[in-house]
Amino acid sequence: MSDEESGANGGAAGGPENDGQRFDRLPATAEDRVVAGRPTREEVVEWWEERYGLSPETWDGHTFWEKGKGKIWAFAGDLVSPNPVEAVGMRVIRARQEHWKPSTDAVQRFCGEATRNVVVLEPEEAERFVRGEDQELERWDGDWGYLVAAHEFEGAREPIGVGLYLHGELRSTVPKGRQEDLS
Amino acid sequence: MNPLERYAPLVDDEEAFLAACDRPLPSVVRVNGIKATAERARSALDAEGVGYEVTDWHPGILKMDERGPGTTWPYFHGWLHGQEEVSALPALALDPDPGDVVWDACAAPGSKTTQLADLMDDRGILIGNDNNLGRLSALRHNAERLGVSNLVVTNQDARNYSLKPFGEGIDDSAAIDAFDRALVDAPCSCEGTIRKNPDALDRWTMDHVHSVAGIQKGILRRAVQATRPGGTVVYSTCTFAPEENEAVLDHAVEEEDCELVGWDAPENFETVPGVTEWDGEEYDSSVELAHRVYPHHNDTGGFFCAKLEVTA
């Protein structure tokens, strides 16, 4: 949990290009950035706060890593960087594109506390969403783009997954392997 | 010959043992504490009218009445994970703390690994390794579905596992030189899973038993070597064969700096001690501290679980 502030990018071993075959810890801030285009920890934490209202403390104790082009992972500890292992924590964001996309698993795990861009679905809508179906949802008058789809469940607002809201339609991005008929 | 008959001299009631091995197992789920409490998960199942029975030894381990849990909301939310009842023992025996560095040597598909993450409150470093790349995708899928964020996945042969990717020996505060705890849930002849998988013994041979025992010894020795003095290693299998259980422990105690330590099985869960003699062989008397689980005692699969402490 130590090396957070230094945001080391692999030191001498790391080149200026992103190496898609390994995990590299995100730099703490833009000043620490060595690899062009790599998001910083600061940007990632701010994005969750601005987009979904998640408090920055959500990520205390987590380090962020990039592997592949823009796949950002959150890990509840620290490791030496770069690192050639198969997986580090959980894949949380697809970055390096105009609109960053959160992963279903990250939204389920961390967005119970989300306060912005959360669309709360009625029971039947929630079931359609989990089946992977797109649906008209004219009542939403918030932002376009990637929303947290949630429902009221066991006395709380439980996130279901990621919806893409465009032109009055909520598209389900629940991965095929996770889609279920819960009706 | 039914290979299970060779264990008749070890069990208290041969007839009950063989009869239990013939019965199918119920579908069992573990509540994932990273996402829900046992109370919430049970309340959600109640609301959906899904029948279950709480095991009398663990509030978060539930026997489902009929259908599997896959098509329910609590399962979709990652509150539940299908896991055979008896396979919840080794993680409880290892008893990791949040912040520990834990190695799961044979992790895929990840029921025990994700249970370890739960016991660690998803904190610290949990390294899940498997030598089979294909099975790693199941491990990753299960871990992410359950919201585990403290897992590192590696693909190595556990018998000569290298800590080099973790910066062993280098001057970096994030480097890992040794584990605090390790779980060796070893590949085995799987006799204990006969109730879940009736084909488990179709290819059973004595040669296979001896060949996996060699692998088991290699993995357990490496786990002891890579764990710090004072650290804990748990060894488990789902087989009854003493060649794969007590003989492997006997070998580790003889060759490495470690000793068997006692561990109380959960209340209301019946086990019997490890055996010190089998088929003309005699094992170190400390292997009695291991736990044997027979299907007729708790109406579960068969299992073996032992706890070791690494000595200086």
Best CA proximity match to B240, nearest among B156, B158, B303, B306: B303
Q: Counting one residue from A and one from B, how many pairs have CB atoms under 8 Å apart?
A: 100
CB B35 within 8 A of CB B146: yes
Band of residue B67 on the pLDDT scale cut at 50, 70, 90: low
Band of residue A12 on the pLDDT scale cut at 50, 70, 90: very low
CB B114 within 8 A of CB B79: no
Beta bridge partners of A118: A148
Nearest CA in chain A to B121: A76
Cα separation of B118 and B113, whole Å? 9
Cis peptide before B295 (omega within 30 of 0): no
The string of DSSP letters for B39-80 reads HHHHHHHHHTT--EEE-TT-TTEEEESSS-STTSHHHHTT-E
Best CA proximity match to B26, nearest among B106, B84, B76: B84
* Least confident interval from A15-19, A69-73, A120-124, B178-182: A15-19
Query: Where do the structural domains in chain A lie, given as residue ranges?
Result: 3-102, 117-178
Confirm whether residue B190 is marked as ligand binding. Answer: no
Min Cα distance A80 → chain B (Å) is 5
Token output for B135: 């099975």
Strands A24-25, A63-67: parallel, antiparallel or unpaired by DSSP? Answer: antiparallel
Q: What H or E segment, with its residue span, contains residue A94?
A: strand A90-94
Q: What is the pLDDT of residue B1?
A: 67
Task: Indicate yes or no: CB of B123 within 8 angstroms of CB of A158.
Answer: no
For residue A65, list chain B residues with Cβ-Cβ distance below 8 A. none
Q: What is the pLDDT of residue A60?
A: 96
Task: Indicate yes or no: CB of B154 within 8 angstroms of CB of A86.
Answer: yes
Band of residue A2 on the pLDDT scale cut at 50, 70, 90: very low
Q: What is the pLDDT of residue A15?
A: 56
Q: What is the pLDDT of residue B197?
A: 86
Cα separation of B300 and A156, whole Å? 35
Nearest CA in chain B to A156: B40
HEC string of A104-171 equals HHHHHHHHHHCCCCEEECCHHHHHHHHCCCCEECCCCCCCCEEEEEEEEECCEEEEEEEEEEECCEEE
Confirm whether residue B174 is marked as ligand binding. Answer: no
Mean pLDDT of all residues belonging to chain B: 96
For residue B154, list chain A residues with Cβ-Cβ distance below 8 A. 85-86
Beta bridge partners of B4: none
Residue A13 has pLDDT above 60, yes or no: no
Q: What is the pLDDT of residue A5?
A: 39
For residue B38, list chain A residues with Cβ-Cβ distance below 8 A. none
Percent of chain B with pLDDT over 90: 93
How many residues are recorded in chain B? 312
Each residue of B2-53: pLDDT tens digit? 889 999 999 999 999 999 999 999 899 999 999 999 999 999 999 999 999 9
Cis peptide before A175 (omega within 30 of 0): no
Of B43, B140, B165, nearest to A87 by CB-CB distance is B140
Provide the whole-model pTM: 0.95
Token output for B108: 């895929």
Confirm whether residue B112 is marked as ligand binding. Answer: yes
To test the contact with chain B by mutation, choose from A9, A72, A78, A86 the residue with the greatest count of B C-beta atoms within 10 A, namely: A86
CATH class of the region A117-178: mainly beta
Task: Indicate yes or no: CB of A91 within 8 angstroms of CB of B144.
Answer: yes
Buried b / exposed e over A148-159, threshold 16 CB at 10 Å, is bbbbebbeebbb
Q: Is the dihedral of CA B235, B133, A93, A42 positive or negative?
A: positive
Each residue of B102-159: pLDDT tens digit? 999 999 999 999 999 999 999 999 999 999 999 999 999 999 999 999 999 999 999 9
Each residue of B71-104: pLDDT tens digit? 899 999 999 999 999 999 999 999 999 999 999 9
Burial grade of B208 (CB within 10 A; 0-12, 13-18, 19 or more) = middle
**Residue B242 φ/ψ, nearest 5 degrees:** -60, -25
For residue B174, list chain A residues with Cβ-Cβ distance below 8 A. 2-3, 78-81
Which positions in chain B have a beta carbon within 8 angstroms of at least one beta carbon in chain A? 34-35, 40, 43-44, 47, 70-73, 76-78, 122-125, 136, 140-141, 143-145, 147-155, 165-167, 170, 172-176
Q: Does A166 touch chain B (CB under 8 A)?
A: no
Confirm whether residue B134 is marked as ligand binding. Answer: no
Each residue of B216-244: pLDDT tens digit? 999 999 999 999 999 999 999 999 999 99
Q: How far is CA B239 from the centre of its chain?
A: 11
Each residue of A20-65: pLDDT tens digit? 889 999 999 999 999 999 999 999 999 999 999 999 999 999 999 9
Q: Does A64 touch chain B (CB under 8 A)?
A: no
B238 is catalytic: yes
Each residue of A75-131: pLDDT tens digit? 999 999 999 999 999 999 999 999 999 999 999 999 999 999 999 999 999 999 999
Strand ranges inside B150-206, DSSP E: 151-154, 179-185
Residue B164's CB is within 10 A of a number of other CB atoms, namely: 11
Task: Indicate yes or no: CB of A158 within 8 angstroms of CB of B153.
Answer: no
CB B267 within 8 A of CB B304: no
Task: Indicate yes or no: CB of A109 within 8 angstroms of CB of B173.
Answer: no
